[in-house]
Amino acid sequence: MVFEEAPIKGIWIITPRVFCDERGYFMESYLRESFARHIGPIEFVQENESLSRFGVTRGLHYQEDPHAQSKYIRVVEGEIFDVAVDIRRESPTLGQAFCLNLSSENKKQLFIPKGFAHGFCVLSPVAVVQYKTDAFYHPGSEGVFHVSSPDLAIPWPLSDGEMILSEKDKQACPFRL
């Protein structure tokens, strides 16, 4: 696995080694020892999976302390435009977004630490997204910022008219610096 730290400290792009032949492919999608060496020790406690169609846009979701979550995201089928926004109040990169296309073709994976809001939009006909978290989901600690928050200026590859949002995400407040 290749670990590359993103321009925003704490975010890591992980690219697994993929072994292909006429039968298909094999890859290791997670290695605890490699994570510990590059990111530090982490214990994932939950794994989630979503299936979404083109245009579905989820986020920007986060969990408040003490239930904040780190996430390890990968795409099993299709392609997404993935976004992590730094919401750590004392961070020099507060309000900055890191964006990356994740797909079943490029096999890139993203580690997002606690203190970030996360979202994505689906660019393929369907996308299956899996992600691990190091804390359990806690409904009372959930927060959401609107995906089109002007202070964030996220370069979404879809227009507002193409985005399909849940009612909760449509009603979300904008992020303010």
Structural domain contains residue 148: yes
151 near 177, Cβ under 8 Å?
yes
> Residue 146 — pLDDT band, cuts 50, 70, 90?
very high
DSSP 8-class letter at 132: E
**Do 80 and 123 touch, CB atoms closer than 8 A?**
yes
| Predicted local confidence at residue 19, as pLDDT | 94
Lay out the sheet containing 79-86: strands in order across: 97-103, 79-86, 116-122, 57-63, 142-144
Whole-prediction pTM: 0.94
Q: What whole-number percentage of the chain has pLDDT above 90? A: 96
pLDDT band at 165 (very low <50, low <70, confident <90, very high): very high
Neighbouring C-beta atoms of residue 26, cutoff 10 Å: 11
In a domain? residue 117: yes
Torsion of CA 69, 91, 163, 59, to 10 degrees: 20
Of 119, 55, 115, nearest in space to 89 by CA: 115
Determine whether 131 is an active site residue. yes
Q: Which is catalytic among the residues 61, 62, 118, 146?
A: 61
**Euclidean distance between CA atoms 170 and 13, whole angstroms:** 29
Q: Which residue in 62, 72, 131, 146 is the catalytic one?
A: 131
pLDDT value, residue 177: 85
Asked, for residue 32, whether it belongs to a domain, the answer is no
* Percent of the chain whose pLDDT exceeds 70: 100
Rounded average pLDDT over 56-62: 96
The total of structural domains in the chain comes to 1
By C-alpha distance, which of 135, 103, 136, 134 is closest to 32? 134
Structural domain harbouring 87: 45-170
Place of tokens 């290791």: 28
175 lies in some domain:
no
Average pLDDT over residues 158-176: 96
62 is annotated as an active-site residue: no
Q: Which long-range contacts (CB under 8 A, 24 or more apart) does 90-93 make?
A: 91/9, 91/115, 93/8, 93/9
Mean pLDDT, rounded, for 66-94: 97
Q: Report pLDDT digits (tens) over 1-17.
A: 999 999 999 999 999 99
CATH number at residue 140: 2.60.120.10
